C-alpha cells in the first residue's frame, strides 16, 4: 500500500500529508477514506481483490475522494441544505413543507450528487492506478466479481438498492464507465512503449519474491 502511494503520488497532485493505510478485520467488503488521508480497508474486500493490481484499483478510488475534496463538498452541501430546511419551517411553521423538502432534496440532489462523486472517484482512481503502473483493467474485474456475487445470491443480505435511491452507481453503470475510460488508462499504462511500467512491474515482482522468502525464514 505504501509503495502504491509512493508511485502514484508524483502524478496525482495530492496534499503534502502522507497517506496512512489501516486494514480492519471484518467480513464486510468495503473500504473508505477519512479527511487527513487515512485509508481503511476491510478484509472482506479481499474476496473480490485477488492481487496487488486489484487492491490498487480500490486504493486509487479511495485516494481520489480526497484528491477531489469530496468530503469538503459534502460538508458544504449539508450546511446549505440545513439552512434551506430551516427556511421551510419559517415559511410554513406547520412543518408540512419541511416534510416534503427533506425527502425531495435527498432523492433529487443528495443521492445523485453522491453518485457523481463515486463516478469521479472511479475515473481518477483509474488514472492513479495506471500512472503507478498497476493494470487499470483490474478495477473492472473487482466490480465484475461483486456483481456476479450479488446475482448468484451469495451477497443477498447486502444486495444494493435500486440505483436511484443509492449513494453509489449500480454495477452495470460502473462497468460501462470503466469500458469508456479504459482506452485512456491503457494508453497511460503503456506509455513510452510500456518500458516504464515494465521496469516498475519487474521491481514489484522481485519485491514480492523477497517478501515471500523473508516470510518463509520467519516461520
Which residues are identified as catalytic?
Answer: 62
DSSP calls for 108-142:
IIIHHHHHHHHHHHHHHHHHHHHHTT--THHHHHH
Report how far apart the first and last C-alpha atoms of the chain are (Å, whole number).
23
The distance of Cα 208 from the centroid of its chain, to the nearest Å, equals: 25
Q: Which grid cell is 209? A: 519474491
By C-alpha distance, which of 125, 213, 92, 112 is closest to 167?
Answer: 112
Q: Could you write out the DSSP letters of every residue in 3-20? A: HHHHHHHHHHT--SSPPE
Q: Please tell me the distance from the alpha carbon of residue 175 to that of residue 29, in angstroms, as a whole number.
A: 18
Of 49, 56, 57, 64, the C-alpha closest to 2 is 56
Amino acid at each position: 500500500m505504501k509503495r502504491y502511494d509512493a508511485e502514484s503520488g508524483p502524478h496525482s497532485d495530492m496534499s503534502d500529508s502522507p497517506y496512512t493505510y489501516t486494514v480492519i478485520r471484518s467480513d464486510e467488503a468495503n473500504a473508505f477514506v477519512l479527511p487527513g488521508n487515512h485509508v481503511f480497508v476491510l478484509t472482506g474486500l479481499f474476496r473480490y481483490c485477488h492481487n496487488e493490481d486489484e487492491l490498487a484499483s480500490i486504493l486509487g478510488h479511495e485516494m481520489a475522494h480526497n484528491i477531489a475534496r469530496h468530503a469538503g463538498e459534502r460538508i458544504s452541501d449539508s450546511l446549505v441544505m440545513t439552512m434551506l430546511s430551516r427556511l421551510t419551517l419559517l415559511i410554513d411553521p406547520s412543518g408540512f413543507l419541511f416534510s416534503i423538502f427533506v425527502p425531495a432534496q435527498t432523492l433529487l440532489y443528495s443521492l445523485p450528487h453522491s453518485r457523481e462523486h463515486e463516478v469521479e472517484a472511479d475515473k481518477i482512481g483509474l488514472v492513479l492506478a495506471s500512472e503507478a503502473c498497476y493494470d487499470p483493467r483490474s478495477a473492472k474485474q473487482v466490480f465484475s466479481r461483486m456483481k456476479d456475487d450479488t446475482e448468484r445470491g451469495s451477497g443477498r443480505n447486502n444486495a444494493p438498492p435500486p440505483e436511484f435511491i443509492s449513494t453509489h452507481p449500480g454495477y452495470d453503470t460502473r462497468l460501462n464507465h470503466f469500458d469508456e475510460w479504459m482506452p485512456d488508462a491503457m494508453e497511460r499504462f503503456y506509455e513510452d512503449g510500456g518500458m516504464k511500467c515494465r521496469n516498475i512491474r519487474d521491481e514489484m515482482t522481485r519485491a514480492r519474491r523477497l517478501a515471500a522468502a523473508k516470510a518463509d525464514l520467519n516461520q
